[in-house]
Amino acid sequence: MEDQKSMALLLRARLLECCPKFEIFLAHTFSEAKKILEKEDSIQVCLTDLTLPDSSNYEIVDLLKSFKVATVVFTGSYSEAVRHRVFDAHVADYVIKDGQVSIDYAVSSVHSLLQNPERTIWILSDNIRSIHRTQGLLRIQRYQLKVFEDYIDLIRALDDEVPDLLIIDRLSDERKMSVYDLVREIRTKYSDHDLPIISIEKKNKINQSIKLMKYGVGDLVSENYSPEELYLRVRKNLEQSQAYKDIKRISEVDALTQIYNRRAFFEKAEQMFECYQNEKRKFFLIMVDIDHFKQVNDKYGHQIGDQAIIFTATYLKSVFSNELVARFGGEEFIVLGECDSVDKVSSLCEVFRQEIEVQSYASIEVEFTVSQGVAFSGNSLDKAIAKADELLYEAKQAGRNQVVTESQKR
C-alpha cells in the first residue's frame, strides 16, 4: 500500500524477485486497500506507508490489525511517538524510507514474514508474564511456537523434533542451575548452528549470562528488550543458522543427483556403523553400478548419461527411502541401512533391478540395467564395502543385470 505509484511498482518488482510464488496486490489509497482486504481472504503480509491520500491518522494500521494481517510499515515519517503507536498496533516491523538500503530491508522483512510459518521456535520459561510477552511478539512475526516450563520435558521433546531456535526466557533463580545442564546436554548433540539458543536475562545477572554463553548460549537479550530488538536478534540467529545449513547441504549433496556425495556418506556411515556394532544390530550394504555406462555415454552423449545417473539415483532413493543412499562416484552408488530381514533387503534389491530394466526406456528413452552386490557382514565399514564390491564384481562377471548377495554365497 503506497500512494507513490513509482515506489509501489518498484516494491512490487522487488517482492516478485524474492517471493515469486505469491500474488501481490497494489493499493494506492485506504479505500482501495479496504476493498482488497474484504475481497481477498488469503492476504498474509502487507507492506504499507502510514500516510495515504484518504488516511493520515494510522487508520491503515488499525485496518490491517483488524484483518489480522502481518504488517511492515514503510514510511518517511518518524518520531518515538509514531514508533510506539504503530508497535502498539502489533505491526511486525517499522522501516524508515531513507534510500536503497531501507528498500532492501523492507523487502527482506516481508520475505521473512512469509517464511516464518515454516520456522519453529521453542520457549523455555516458568515466568508466566514473560512467556506471554515473548510469545505474543513472536506470534506477530508468524512463527510456530511451543512453550516449555520444565527443561526435562524439552529434552524429551528433542528426541522427536528439533526446533529452528530455542529461547530461554528469564527462568526463576531456583531453576537457573538446571538450565546449565540443559544447555550442556543440548550442545553434546547439536552445535550452535544446528540449534541456536537465545537467553533473555536480567541486567544484574551478568555472571550468569557469561556462564550461559560459555556453556553454549549464542546470544543474550536484556529483559527490557524492545520488540524490534527481539525481532532482529531472532531473525539474525535464524538466518545465520539457515546459511550454515545451506552451506553444509551444498558440501554434502551431489550436485547432479541431489543425494549424498561420497565424502558425506563416509562421514555419516562411520557413525551409523559404529552404532550398529555397539548395539549388536545387523546391517546391510549395497554397491550398485550402471551396466555398460561408458557405452551409454559414447552412444547417446553425456546429457543422456547424466539422465541415466539421475534416474538411477532417484529410484534408488525411493526404494531405500529410510536408509543412507549416496553417489559413490561416477555411475556407482552405495546404500547402508539396518537389516531386519535378509530376504526383505534382497527382495528390495530385486525390485529396484527390475524397475530400472523396465522403466529406464520409458523415463529417458534409453534402455539400461544395473548390477548390485549386497553384504551383510564386516567388522568395519571398509571391510563391508570391500565385500559388497566383490559381490558386485561377481554380478558383473555373471552377465550383469543381477543381484548377488552374501547370503547366496553361504
CA pair distance 59, 168, nearest whole angstrom: 36
Find how far residue 298's CA is from the centre of its chain.
39
SS3 172: coil
State how far the Cα of 354 lies from the Cα of 346, in Å rounded to an integer: 12
**Angstrom distances, CA of residue 354 to CA of 326, 335, 342:** 20, 18, 18
Positive or negative, the CA dihedral 195, 144, 44, 63 is negative
Q: What is the rounded CA–CA span in Å between residue 251 and residue 253?
A: 6
pLDDT digits (tens), the chain, 410 positions: 998 999 999 999 999 999 999 999 999 999 999 999 999 988 999 999 988 899 877 899 999 999 999 999 998 877 888 888 888 889 999 999 988 999 999 999 999 999 999 999 999 988 888 889 999 999 999 999 999 988 888 989 999 999 999 999 876 656 655 778 888 889 999 999 999 999 987 776 667 778 888 889 999 888 889 999 999 999 999 999 999 999 988 999 999 999 999 999 999 999 999 999 989 999 999 999 999 999 999 999 999 999 999 999 999 999 999 999 999 999 999 999 999 999 999 999 999 999 999 999 988 999 999 999 999 999 999 999 999 999 999 999 999 999 999 876 65
Q: Which residues contact 79 (CB under 8 A, 6 or more apart)?
A: none
CB 388 within 8 A of CB 375: yes
Its pTM surpasses 0.75: yes
C-alpha cell at 125: 520459561
Q: Which residues contact 303 (CB under 8 A, 6 or more apart)?
A: none
CA distance 1 to 48: 4
272 Cα distance to chain centroid: 22
What's at 55, amino acid-wise? S
Mind listing the domains of the chain with CATH numbers? 5-114 (3.40.50.2300), 119-250 (3.40.50.2300), 262-409 (3.30.70.270)
Q: 370: phi > 0 → left, psi -120 to 50 → alpha, else beta; which?
A: beta
Cell numbers representing residue 323 in the block: 536408509
Handedness of CA 301, 302, 305, 307 (dihedral sign): negative
The pLDDT of residue 175 is 60
- Give residue 283's pLDDT: 96
